[in-house]
């Protein structure tokens, strides 16, 4: 049971439940105290000792039900209850016809697996499958492509090769018994496949999730299928959470920099220049200020949600952020992003200004007239958009004026570089006045770009 608990802890970690060594020790002590006779009590005890939130309770409960679906935690204690059945079966065997010893003598020539299957002893078969699982390291399964490999290894460990020889021999002398054995073998294959599928669901969940997320991180945001939108939003939230954890924590210790020898000697002149007091050269860091302009027009409607989610996270990471959204005209959305949840903020912003025909020139004019004072020499201006202005005047001169006032201008474009300048794209004009221009066609590119922007202030 101790080995089963260790496997359960590994499966729980794969299900997203953080299980520390101390918590696993507490859980094992709890199991030792309550025993294994009551599955419900065992389940509740593990939930109490391991889960720290409602989400973890749900995940751990589902993991427990799946893990112990074919494992009886009180199996040693159930042997006494099975004793009457064994006695009854032995009495039935003694009441068999007189030709039973002859058949038993014939079966004795068969291998252990064939004898087990013909006897239809489910307890021994389950034990053999469990032993084979341990022998081949089934808990190390990670990907669905390994199901056939582990199934074959388990059957080989149980003696499938000897069983095939026994089937060939029985086909010659006892076809009826060979047919029974073949049916039992088919059932064994199904049982082994079910055990492998259960192990994959338990131990391969984390690797499968990581693989799916890695594929999704590198997928084109504009080509995300409707069924993947919810997963992509969850992935963007994880990116936003990582940004918050990485950059929003206050620094407890300020970097001291290099020792300032001159100031140290002057400060300690009264003690004969013995350096009781030290002086350090500290690097001055500007207080971060960010102005974000997000295109929410129809041409980028499929990626604007993801842009807004990242901008929403910036308000948690950087103290001084002003956010704007535009399509045909521009409005400030800082208050909406700060006071409402991400879903509510996105819905309200898209209702007010989203899905329109993009007009970068008109939007830049709105910004120049109303919000130009927000741009200072300490400000980083971030523009998220495809720079497609529907053949209208792009007013690149306004972006030039913004670049002259700002610390730097960063443009994140959801289209690849090959499309810049084609059709109604004004990216080559705007690129002239930007310090950084990056394609952000995938979630991974978007995370790197935003992380680089925020890290510049750390």
266-302 pLDDT, tens digit per residue, is 888 888 778 878 888 766 555 668 899 999 998 787 7
Q: Which of 378, 373, 383 is nearest to 406 (CA)?
A: 378
How far, in Å, CA of 207 to CA of 301, rounded? 32
Note whether 139 and 35 are same-domain residues.
yes
Note whether 25 and 156 are same-domain residues.
yes
Q: Which of 295, 303, 420, 435 is nearest to 364 (CA)?
A: 295
Look up the domain containing 40 and give its range: 2-78+104-206
Note whether 299 and 177 are same-domain residues.
no
The DSSP secondary structure of 37-97, one letter per residue, reads S-HHHHHHHHHHHH--SHHHHHHHHHHHHHHTTS--TTGGGGTTTTHHHHHHHHHHHHTS-
Domain termination residue (choose one: 172, 206, 240):
206
And the tokens for 168?
């060939």
Cα distances (angstroms) measured from residue 275 to each of 63, 119, 283, 430: 61, 88, 22, 55
Note whether 334 and 447 are same-domain residues.
yes
**405-421 b/e (C-beta count within 10 Å ≥ 16 → b):** ebbebbbbbbbeeeebe
The DSSP secondary structure of 294-336, one letter per residue, reads EE-SGGGHHHHHHHHHHHHHHHHH-SEEEEEEESSSEEE-HHH
How far, in Å, CA of 414 to CA of 445, rounded? 10
pLDDT tops 50 at residue 81: no
Report the pLDDT value the prediction gives residue 347, as an integer from 0 to 100. Answer: 87
Say which residue, 398 or 104, is predicted with more confidence.
Answer: 398
The reply to whether 173 falls in a domain is yes
Report the pLDDT value the prediction gives residue 107, as an integer from 0 to 100. Answer: 64
167-223 pLDDT, tens digit per residue, is 888 888 888 888 998 999 999 999 999 888 888 877 777 676 777 777 888 888 877
Note whether 138 and 11 are same-domain residues.
yes
Separation of CA 457 from chain center: 28
The reply to whether 258 falls in a domain is no
* Residue percentage of the chain with pLDDT more than 90: 22
Q: What average pLDDT does range 43-67 have in this prediction?
A: 85
223-263 pLDDT, tens digit per residue, is 777 777 777 777 777 777 776 666 654 444 445 567 888 88
Domain termination residue (choose one: 148, 173, 206):
206
Report the pLDDT value the prediction gives residue 456, as an integer from 0 to 100. Answer: 63
Q: How many folded domains does the chain comprise?
A: 2
Q: What average pLDDT does range 35-43 have in this prediction?
A: 85
The reply to whether 85 falls in a domain is no
323-336 pLDDT, tens digit per residue, is 999 999 999 999 99
Q: What average pLDDT does range 379-387 have in this prediction?
A: 92
Note whether 171 and 299 are same-domain residues.
no
Report the pLDDT value the prediction gives residue 172, as an integer from 0 to 100. Answer: 81
308-367 pLDDT, tens digit per residue, is 877 877 777 777 889 999 999 999 999 998 888 878 888 899 889 988 889 999 999 999
Note whether 326 and 202 are same-domain residues.
no
* Residue percentage of the chain with pLDDT more than 70: 84
125-168 pLDDT, tens digit per residue, is 888 888 898 889 887 887 778 889 999 999 999 999 998 888 88
And the tokens for 252?
């407890």
Residues in the chain: 458
Most confident range (mean pLDDT) of 82-91, 106-115, 425-434 is: 425-434
Cα distances (angstroms) measured from residue 151 to each of 144, 160, 204: 12, 11, 15
Report the pLDDT value the prediction gives residue 444, as an integer from 0 to 100. Answer: 85
Note whether 345 and 440 are same-domain residues.
yes
Note whether 179 and 303 are same-domain residues.
no
The reply to whether 118 falls in a domain is yes
Note whether 302 and 450 are same-domain residues.
yes
| Weakest mean pLDDT among 106-115, 132-141, 435-444 | 106-115
The DSSP secondary structure of 237-253, one letter per residue, reads HHHHHHHHHHHSSPPSS
Residue located via tokens 């201008």:
409
Note whether 20 and 152 are same-domain residues.
yes
CATH number of the CATH domain containing 384: 3.40.50.410
Note whether 332 and 190 are same-domain residues.
no
How far, in Å, CA of 55 to CA of 358, rounded? 41
Q: What average pLDDT does range 75-90 have in this prediction?
A: 42
How far, in Å, CA of 231 to CA of 219, rounded? 12
The reply to whether 202 falls in a domain is yes
The reply to whether 276 falls in a domain is no
pTM comes to 0.57
Say which residue, 295 or 455, is predicted with more confidence.
Answer: 295
The answer to whether the CB of 47 falls within 8 A of the CB of 237 is no
pLDDT tops 50 at residue 17: yes
Report the pLDDT value the prediction gives residue 90, as an integer from 0 to 100. Answer: 44
The reply to whether 274 falls in a domain is no
Most confident range (mean pLDDT) of 93-97, 111-115, 153-157, 173-177 is: 153-157
Q: Decide: helix, strand or coil at residue 280.
A: strand
Instruction: For residue 307, name the pLDDT band (cuts at 50, 70, 90).
Output: confident
Report the pLDDT value the prediction gives residue 248, as an integer from 0 to 100. Answer: 56
The reply to whether 23 falls in a domain is yes
Q: Which of 12, 40, 342 is nearest to 203 (CA)?
A: 12
Domain termination residue (choose one: 147, 173, 206):
206
């Amino acid at each position: 049971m101790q080995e089963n608990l260790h496997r359960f802890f590994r499966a729980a970690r794969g299900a997203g439940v953080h299980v520390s060594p101390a918590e696993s020790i507490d859980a094992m002590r709890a199991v030792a105290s309550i025993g294994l006779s009551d599955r419900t009590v065992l389940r509740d005890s593990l939930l109490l000792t391991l889960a720290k939130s409602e989400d973890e309770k749900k995940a751990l409960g589902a993991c427990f039900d799946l893990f112990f679906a074919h494992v009886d935690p009180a199996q040693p204690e159930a042997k006494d209850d099975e004793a009457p059945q064994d006695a009854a079966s032995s009495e039935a065997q003694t009441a068999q016809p007189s030709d039973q010893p002859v058949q038993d003598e014939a079966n004795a020539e068969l291998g252990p697996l064939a004898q087990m299957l013909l006897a239809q002893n489910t307890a021994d078969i389950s034990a053999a499958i469990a032993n084979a699982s341990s022998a081949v390291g089934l808990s190390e399964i990670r990907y669905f492509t390994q199901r056939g490999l582990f199934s074959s290894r388990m059957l080989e460990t149980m003696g499938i090769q000897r069983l095939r020889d026994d089937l060939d021999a029985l086909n010659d002398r006892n076809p009826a018994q060979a047919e029974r054995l073949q049916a039992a073998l088919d059932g064994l294959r199904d049982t082994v496949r079910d055990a492998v599928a259960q192990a994959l669901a338990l131990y391969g969940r984390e690797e499968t999730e990581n693989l799916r997320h890695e594929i999704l991180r590198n997928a084109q945001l504009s080509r995300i299928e409707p069924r993947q939108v919810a997963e992509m939003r969850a992935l963007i939230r994880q990116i936003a959470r990582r940004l918050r954890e990485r950059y929003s924590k206050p620094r407890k210790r300020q970097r001291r920099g290099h020792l300032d020898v001159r100031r140290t000697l002057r400060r300690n002149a009264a003690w004969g220049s013995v350096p009781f007091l030290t002086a350090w050269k500290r690097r001055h860091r500007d207080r971060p200020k960010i102005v974000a302009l997000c295109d929410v027009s129809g041409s980028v409607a499929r990626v604007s949600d993801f842009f807004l989610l990242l901008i929403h996270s910036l308000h948690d990471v950087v103290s001084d952020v002003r956010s704007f959204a535009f399509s045909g005209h521009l409005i400030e959305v800082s208050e909406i992003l700060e006071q409402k949840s991400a879903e509510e903020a996105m819905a309200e912003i898209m209702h007010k200004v989203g899905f329109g025909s993009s007009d970068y020139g008109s939007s830049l004019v709105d910004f120049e007239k109303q919000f130009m004072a927000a741009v200072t020499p300490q400000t980083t201006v971030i523009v998220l958009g495809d720079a497609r202005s529907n053949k209208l005047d792009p007013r690149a001169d306004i972006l030039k004026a913004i670049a002259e006032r700002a610390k730097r201008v960063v443009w994140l474009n959801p289209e690849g570089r090959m499309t810049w300048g084609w059709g109604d794209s004004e990216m080559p004009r705007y690129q002239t006045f930007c310090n950084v221009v990056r394609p952000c066609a995938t979630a991974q590119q978007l995370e790197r770009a935003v992380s680089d922007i925020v890290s510049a202030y750390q």
